[in-house]
Amino acid sequence: MELTEAIVRAACALGAGLCMGIGAIGPAIGEGNAVGKALEGMARQPESTSNLRTNMLVGCAVAETTGIYSLVIALLLLFVF
Amino acid sequence: MQINGPKIYFTIPIFGGIPVTQTLLSSFVATLILCVTAFLLGRKLRKRPGRMQVMTEKGVTVMTNMVKEAMGEHNARWTPFIAAVFLSSLLGTLLGMTGILRSSTADISTTMTWAVLVSFICWYQSIKNNGFLAWLKGFTEPIAVMTPMNIVSEIAQPVSLAFRHFGNIAGGGVITALIYWALSGASAGILKLIASSSIAVPLVLLAAGVGLLPLSRPKAGGKRRKLPLLLGALCTALAGLRLLDWLWSLTGRAWPQMNGIVTGLCWFAALAVLVCGIVLLIGHKKLPGILLTALGFLGICFVSEGPMGVPVLTLGLPAVLSLYFDVFSGVIQAFVFSLLTMIYISGNCPPPEEGKSKA
């Protein structure tokens, strides 16, 4: 393998790792907050559990979006370049 | 390990070549299934509904209520569109689990098409309700300096909608494929290790496996314990495979390759056992169902690869992962996609009296 190509491969691998690692921080904090608050609400009002759970799942899926973006970019770096 | 996009089957030589991909095929299959099901379900509607009609009506009511809740009473006419988006997204994702077709939503072009369609609907509704000039003026709100921001957010909306859905499904598929690859590699390594060992190792494994199995017997009133059962079954299976390999090596011949009538018949027999197991599982006969399924799976690998080619570790875990990544994630993403579609469209379809007072 030529040196430039090796450098590009290494940079892609490093970039994918960084992208996924840093990109997962935000969604993790966001989803943790959402689930924690939802659990608080469920503990306070057990009768609203089903409604809260549905909304929590949708909120989690939306909060996950930025994490998914970084996943897409990491996959591009690993498998396309 | 190769991760590929959808394969191109062939290219239709008009308009500079239209590629027919796996995505296109599964999209059309999903559309066809939905059309035929809808036609069959909506055909014989009676005053006194049968079982199917009750279920259909229940489903339609659920969809209508969902749309009414998210978009308001006056927007109930959007129900067919939202339901079509939801169902084709769900079915497109689940089709990937058949193993023959590829999920149509694991391709950016599918989700991007839907998202751009939603954007066009929003613009059309906005122009229809407020007029072209008012729509253009909407970009300069709240102040004229914000115009570039507004244009960027208008472009970012379909992009984020499309990438969220695509990334979830495609990423789940990639992770499942990676785990499957790693597990089959690991089990091949273990089998190689056992195959190169002396005959004493499988005997010890067999003893351990048979010894572990009774430990899983339920205590009085308790449940059957899973871990000893799994470990015992794994040890017994490994030992059995090694012993079979050893017995075969006594004949002094190589394992026959996958050709000839006998291996073909064996393969079909294993497939039949697998299908029987799945049918039993569906019929809620748990233990024989699981046994027959595992036996059929092992048999298929066994016939095609020989005793030492059976990927023992790949039984079970990928199924659980696929349950999360395909079923759960597919349902949630279909729901989120249609929910956001409803929110975007209803933002441009205000209630009638409010729309009049604005105009």
Query: What 3 state SS string does chain A have?
Result: CCHHHHHHHHHHHHHHHHHHHHHCHHHHHHHHHHHHHHHHHHHHCHHHHHHHHHHHHHHHHHHCHHHHHHHHHHHHHHHCC
Give A18→chain B minimum CA distance, Å.
17
Q: Residues with Cβ < 8 Å from A55, sequence gap 6 or more?
A: A38
Q: Give how far Cα B247 sits from Cα of B98, B251, B253, B290, Å.
A: 37, 7, 11, 27
In terms of CA atoms, which chain A residue is nearest residue B161?
Answer: A65
Of B163, B332, B336, the CB nearest to A69: B163
Query: A15-79 belongs to which homologous superfamily?
Result: F1F0 ATP synthase subunit C (1.20.20.10)
**B91-123: pLDDT as tens digits:** 998 888 776 788 888 888 899 999 999 999 999
Tell me the whole-structure pTM to 2 decimals. Answer: 0.72
B221 pLDDT band, cuts 50/70/90, is low
The Cα of A20 is separated from the nearest Cα of chain B by a number of Å equal to 12
Query: Which residue among B163, B170, B336 sits closest to A62, beta carbon to beta carbon?
Result: B336
How far does the CA of residue B266 sit from the closest CA of chain A (Å)?
39
| Chain B residue with Cα closest to A63 | B164
- Nearest Cα residue in chain A from B168: A68
Report helix angle B22-41 to B79-94, nearest 10. Answer: 130
B213 — phi, psi (to 5°)?
Answer: -55, -45
Who has greater pLDDT, B306 or B133?
Answer: B133
**Which token pair is A3?**
């040196």
**Which pLDDT belongs to residue B325?**
77
Interface of A with B (CB under 8 A): 57-58, 61-62, 64-65, 68-69, 71-72, 75, 78-79
pLDDT of residue B359: 44
Does the pLDDT of residue B63 top 50, yes or no?
yes
Express as a percent the part of chain B with pLDDT over 70.
80
Cβ <8 Å between B171 and A72: yes
Report CA dihedral (B311, B312, B313, B315) to the nearest 10 degrees: 100
* pLDDT per position as a tens digit, B171-192: 888 888 888 788 777 777 777 7
Domain boundaries along the sequence of chain A: 15-79
Tell me the pLDDT tens digit for each residue of B272-299.
887 887 777 777 777 777 777 777 777 7
Give bridge partners of residue B356 from the DSSP assignment.
Answer: none
